[in-house]
């Protein structure tokens, strides 16, 4: 009797693990961790890693008007608390066509600290011209100490799933989930409703 019960429990356990594994695999294939549906294309890991390297070593004009040249995703000038402090970090990117020219462009998110406690996130439209990435227009400020859950480009629209400060949140501790959309119109990123 014990042997039959043990075998039944073992079969049930194996079935449960198999079903859970299959469902988890389906979810991972179709959704990001934030719940936004992924675009339907195969990963281009090698190509994307080359573009990531180019973008994380690119030159950007940040919202202060300073032009910074990243090296391995970082730029630092001055020291914390100093008048001339700029500390910029490459945070995230997505590849896709944003200017309707057919080449794979990029939407890039950088964070910048100017010596205080803030970390100001900025969105950049980066256009691919014959394999060379160039910033198009001014960056868009996304907020101070926000959390970027995901960024995708779909149908020329940049979609960012982020967590920002709600009306009662401290700057350090955002809890308000927000999905924002931008499109490149002319030379500028424009927020869509």
Query: Two tokens at 164?
Result: 């920002």
Can you tell me the distance from the alpha carbon of 177 to that of 166, in angstroms, rounded to the nearest whole number?
9
The domain spans of the chain are 1-30, 41-192
Q: Which residue in 39, 18, 53 sits closest to 154, CA to CA? A: 39
pTM of the model: 0.75
Note whether 94 and 158 are within 8 A (CB): yes
Per residue of the chain (193 residues), give pLDDT as tens. 777 766 766 665 565 565 545 544 444 444 444 334 333 334 445 667 889 999 999 999 999 999 999 999 999 998 877 778 999 999 999 999 999 888 899 999 999 999 888 999 999 999 998 888 999 999 999 999 999 999 999 999 999 999 999 999 999 999 999 999 999 999 999 999 8
How far apart are the C-alpha atoms of 96 and 153, rounded to whole Å? 5
């Amino acid at each position: 009797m014990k042997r039959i019960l043990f075998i039944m429990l073992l079969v049930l356990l194996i079935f449960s693990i198999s079903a859970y594994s299959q469902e988890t695999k389906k979810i991972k294939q179709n959704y990001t961790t934030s719940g936004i549906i992924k675009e339907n294309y195969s990963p281009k890991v090698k190509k994307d890693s080359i573009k990531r390297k180019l973008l994380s070593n690119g030159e950007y004009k940040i919202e202060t008007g300073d032009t910074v040249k990243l090296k391995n995703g970082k730029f630092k000038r001055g020291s914390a608390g100093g008048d001339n402090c700029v500390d910029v970090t490459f945070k995230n990117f997505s590849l896709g066509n944003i200017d309707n020219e057919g080449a794979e462009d990029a939407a890039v998110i950088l964070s910048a600290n100017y010596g205080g406690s803030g970390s100001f996130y900025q969105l950049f439209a980066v256009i691919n011209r014959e394999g060379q990435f160039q910033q198009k227009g001014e960056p868009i400020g996304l907020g101070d100490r926000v959390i970027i859950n995901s960024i995708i480009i779909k149908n020329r629209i940049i979609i960012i799933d982020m967590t920002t400060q709600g009306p009662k949140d401290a700057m350090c501790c955002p809890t308000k989930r927000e999905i924002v959309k931008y499109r490149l119109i002319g030379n500028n990123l424009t927020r869509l409703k």
